[in-house]
Amino acid sequence: MARQKKATENQNSRAPTELVNAFDDAVSRLAAINAIEGVSPVFEVIDAARPLVLSPEGLDAIYERVPAIESAGFFGGSDWDYPQTLVPSLAARTVRHGEPTATLVECLSQVRLLAVTKGDYVHASISAEHAHNFLAQVMAMNLDLVVSDDLQESDRLRPDQLGHAVQNLYHYLLQHLGYENLLEHLVAEVWRILEQRPVQVEGVKHMVTQIAVCLEKPDALGGEVGDDALQLINAVFSPTEGCREDPGFEVYSERLADMDDAALMQEAIAFAQAMHNTGLVSAYMPVFIRYLRGRWNALIPTALGLSYTGADAFHCYPALIHRLIDDAVFPETSQCTYGLAMMLERGILYSPPVAPSLWRQIRMTLCDAAAEKITTVFGSSRSPECFLLADVLNVLGRPLGVGQGNYPTCQSTRALSMWAYNMPAELLRILAWAARDDEIVMRFEGNSISSKELGAGLATEPPVDVDAVSLLTVPHLDRIYFEMGRRSIGRGEDPHKWVNAEFHGDHVGHGFRIAVDVFTGGLKDFEGFVRDFYAAYHPFYNGNIPVINPQPAGIAVTDSATRFLGWHAITIQRLAMDPDKTMRVYFFNPNNDSGQNWGQGVITSTHGHGELFGEASLPVAEFVSRLYVFHYDPIEKGEPGDIPADEVNRAMDLARGSWASGR
- Tell me: do 83 and 168 sit in the same domain: yes
What whole-number distance in Å separates Cα of residue 282 and Cα of residue 231? 12
> In the predicted model, what is the mean pLDDT of residues 79-100?
82
- Tell me: do 440 and 468 sit in the same domain: yes
- Residue 227 counted as domain residue: no
> Is pLDDT of 39 > 70?
no
Residue 6 banded pLDDT, cuts 50, 70, 90: very low
> Is pLDDT of 425 > 60?
yes
What whole-number distance in Å separates Cα of residue 419 and Cα of residue 592? 18
- Tell me: do 518 and 569 sit in the same domain: yes
DSSP β-bridge partners for residue 511: 632
**366-388 pLDDT, tens digit each:** 999 999 999 998 999 999 999 99
> In the predicted model, what is the mean pLDDT of residues 191-198?
90
- Tell me: do 540 and 606 sit in the same domain: yes
Report the mean per-residue pLDDT for the chain.
88
Of 461, 468, 284, 287, residue with least CA distance to 379: 468
- Residue 370 counted as domain residue: yes
What pLDDT does residue 460 have? 62
426-440, 567-581, 592-606: the lowest-pLDDT one: 592-606
- Residue 197 counted as domain residue: no
If you count DSSP H runs as helices and E runs as strands, how many of each does the chain have, helices first? 31, 8
Burial of 602 (0-12, 13-18, 19+ CB in 10 A): buried
The answer to whether 658 and 558 are in contact (CB under 8 A) is yes
What whole-number distance in Å separates Cα of residue 347 and Cα of residue 316? 11
> In the predicted model, what is the mean pLDDT of residues 18-31?
88
Calculate the dihedral angle through the C-alpha atoms of 225, 230, 236, 242, rounding to the nearest 10 degrees: 140
- Residue 214 counted as domain residue: no
Give the three-state DSSP class for 643: coil
- Residue 620 counted as domain residue: yes
Task: Provide φ and ψ at 77, rounded to 5°.
Answer: 80, 5
- Residue 21 counted as domain residue: yes
56-64 and 162-177 are packed helices; what angle lies between their axes, rounded to 10 degrees?
70
**531-544 pLDDT, tens digit each:** 999 999 999 999 99
- Tell me: do 21 and 81 sit in the same domain: yes
DSSP β-bridge partners for residue 441: 450
- Residue 100 counted as domain residue: yes
> In the predicted model, what is the mean pLDDT of residues 631-635?
94
Angle at 400 between CA 399 and CA 405, to 5 degrees: 110
Of 258, 260, 252, residue with least CA distance to 283: 252
Give the count of domains, the chain. 4
Range of the domain at 313: 238-350
Last residue of a domain, one of 178, 212, 246: 178
21-25, 36-40, 63-67, 462-466: the lowest-pLDDT one: 36-40
- Tell me: do 320 and 383 sit in the same domain: no
Angle at 53 between CA 51 and CA 57, to 5 degrees: 95
- Residue 478 counted as domain residue: yes
- Tell me: do 269 and 403 sit in the same domain: no
What whole-number distance in Å separates Cα of residue 303 and Cα of residue 321? 14
Cα R_g (the chain), whole angstroms: 26
What whole-number distance in Å separates Cα of residue 361 and Cα of residue 323? 11
Last residue of a domain, one of 178, 197, 216: 178
What pLDDT does residue 221 have? 53
CA distances from 362 to 66, 288, 388, 542 (A): 52, 22, 10, 44
- Tell me: do 152 and 268 sit in the same domain: no
- Tell me: do 159 and 26 sit in the same domain: yes
Residue type, 405: G
DSSP β-bridge partners for residue 444: 447
Complete DSSP assignment for 412-459 = HHHHHHHHHHH-HHHHHHHHHIIIIIS--EEEETTEEEEGGG----S-
The answer to whether 132 and 560 are in contact (CB under 8 A) is no
Of 545, 573, 575, residue with least CA distance to 638: 545
> Is pLDDT of 339 > 90?
yes
pTM of the model: 0.80
What pLDDT does residue 297 have? 92
Residue 188: count of CB within 10 angstroms of its CB = 14
> Is pLDDT of 224 > 60?
no
- Tell me: do 105 and 22 sit in the same domain: yes
- Tell me: do 518 and 470 sit in the same domain: no
- Tell me: do 481 and 609 sit in the same domain: no
Last residue of a domain, one of 350, 375, 391: 350
> Is pLDDT of 405 > 70?
no
